[in-house]
Chain A
């Protein structure tokens, strides 16, 4: 299966890098990310602070390391939600009779039309910005895409001879799902989960940037970027670090998804948008 797939290798490395940051954050950081040093405000990279300090004198590197927590946790949780909800709806819709399937497809399309971030904004208006609202919004919004792709794939699976035979011989639906549908979906699910992670992380950082994600003082890459943007004039390098962290992570998941698709089944489509 692993045939020297370059995309996959790069993807795995990049994602591992972020995961390492995440794990590392629990062990040790150069400084306490929340510690304020007003006299050290906005220093550039130096030997004591490798990435410099922000406007409150906080060490940027430490904030980046701890910021990975929010990123990965949001990403993972949102993806778990969207996969559970999306796959269930997708399978259920595909296996329902026409009169249920048609309005369901319509409903999914409507939810798909509502952009993720807009949905999150509305939720934030109601419940206030927090990690939870971000996770929930992203999870629900993405589940529509997952449901649509899953539905299409299940429909294809249901056409296979052995599935038709199983249904004809009276196998009940839960059994068919367990024995035939899910195993065939496995490859697609991995690919979708990777792509969904990339989108979720991108969405989370956008929401944080807009102030609708994790509130201070918990470090968050997106929010860091927003606050450091004002100090571009002092030194353009400041917003670079959180930006780089985000890009590496998202790119990693994207390539992971593409690489998985190449390795497991090149005929899959990565339609999670």
Chain B
């Protein structure tokens, strides 16, 4: 019973967050200077044409009406058409997402694989010289901009050694599986390294936390070495804060994806967003940002939920 209550409460919070953020995004772009219809038609903007366009896109309705109609359609997966280009926003988003989502997914996994062991290692050896070195490296990792990492990787692996492509994505998309994967290796590594540096610090402090716990001392008293005690008791306990941080980092990951797509010229959501910004396609930007923000909230919610349910104290009841 209490588990159900826990889930419900979180769900309610999620809903409120979604509504608030979508309102925020909607208002931001609607309260703009300039008239969307006018911008589209330009010199062809006769009063009749303008009126017709407005009616077509529902721009003549009041603001709350526009919001409700937009939201109700968006919830059902229909983000409408771009006023500027007439393109179907949902379709565009989905096709670009086939590049961006795998990128983010692979990068997250690799980031965890790098950060957790290294972070634990740094914590174990924090008085020895290699621990200090690793700490310094992670400091450096945080100071380096993501795009710089990308450029360095391109220089090393694409330009100098020609192992991976310096950018772009196969024309056939995922139909060319080998090409697609090759194109994603360097970008995913870039993102993973950038994220990994941040996660590593958390993994380190989470591990230090575990080491200071009483149950760690008990484990040692039963004859486990430091590393052994970490292996048996530490990993799961330290993983919890790290994964929850990853959840919080989702938005950073998305921004990272935007950057990485720009560095490697990948046809993903990020690049699409940047282009739309350049041509001032407000409706498309609104749709994209709203979906992205919603995704951030949903993923955070899911990760929080899973971690919470894994905690036996909540599960039992």
Contact = CB atoms under 8 A, between A and B. Distances in A.
A243 B153 CA distance: 13
A117 interface: yes
B193 interface: no
B276 interface: yes
Given A209-B145, A229-B151, A121 B273 contact: yes
Interface in A223-263: 225-226, 229, 232-233, 236, 239, 243, 246-247, 250-251, 254-255, 258
Contact of A121 (B154, B274, B280): B274
A113 B21 contact: yes
Interface string B277-317: 11010100100010011001100100000000000000000
Given A126-B29, A250-B143, A254-B142, A210 B155 contact: no
A125 B276 contact: yes
A232 B255 contact: no
Contacts of B280: 125
Contacts of A226: 147, 262
Interface string B119-148: 000000000000000000001101111111
B20 interface: yes
B259 A209 contact: yes
B148 A125 contact: no
Given A124-B277, A232-B155, A247-B144, A115 B21 contact: no
Contacts of A198: 143
A118 B289 contact: yes
A211 interface: yes
Contacts of A222: 145, 147
A202 interface: yes
A196 interface: no
Contacts of A273: 248
B75 interface: no
Interface string A53-74: 0000000000000000000000
A236 B160 contact: yes
A232 B29 contact: no
A225 B20 contact: no
B293 A113 contact: yes
Nearest to A199: B142
Contacts of B151: 225, 229, 232, 239, 243
Given A206-B145, A251-B143, A114 B282 contact: no
A128 B144 CA distance: 27
Name, among A110, A126, A211, the residue most crowded by chain B CB atoms within 10 Å (CB to CB).
A126
A255 B139 contact: yes
B117 to A, nearest CB: 23
Contact of B29 (A116, A122, A202, A251): A122
Given A113-B251, A117-B258, A243-B151, A250 B21 contact: no
A212 interface: yes
Given A125-B282, A229-B151, A254 B145 contact: no
Interface in A41-91: none
A212 B270 CA distance: 13
A191 B289 CA distance: 32
A209 B17 contact: no
B24 interface: yes
Contacts of B274: 121, 210-212
Nearest to B152: A243
A184 to B, nearest CB: 25
A205 interface: yes
B29 to A, nearest CB: 7
Given A113-B17, A126-B32, A243 B148 contact: yes
A183 B89 CA distance: 52
B49 interface: no
Interface in A175-207: 198, 202, 205-206
A117 to B, nearest CB: 4
Contacts of A116: 255
Contacts of B293: 113-114, 118
Contacts of A243: 145, 148, 151-152
B254 A202 contact: no
Interface in B233-283: 248, 251-252, 254-255, 258-259, 262-263, 273-274, 276-278, 280, 282
A200 B248 CA distance: 19
Interface of A: 106, 109-110, 113-118, 121-122, 124-126, 198, 202, 205-206, 209-212, 222, 225-226, 229, 232-233, 236, 239, 243, 246-247, 250-251, 254-255, 258, 273
Interface of B: 16-17, 20-21, 24-25, 28-29, 32, 139-140, 142-148, 151-152, 154-155, 159-160, 166, 248, 251-252, 254-255, 258-259, 262-263, 273-274, 276-278, 280, 282, 285, 289, 292-293, 296-297, 300
* 8 A-B pairs with least C-beta separation: A251-B143, A115-B251, A125-B277, A250-B143, A236-B155, A117-B255, A243-B148, A115-B255
16 contacts: A110-B21, A114-B21, A115-B251, A115-B255, A117-B255, A118-B255, A121-B274, A121-B277, A125-B282, A206-B145, A210-B262, A212-B277, A229-B154, A232-B154, A243-B145, A254-B143
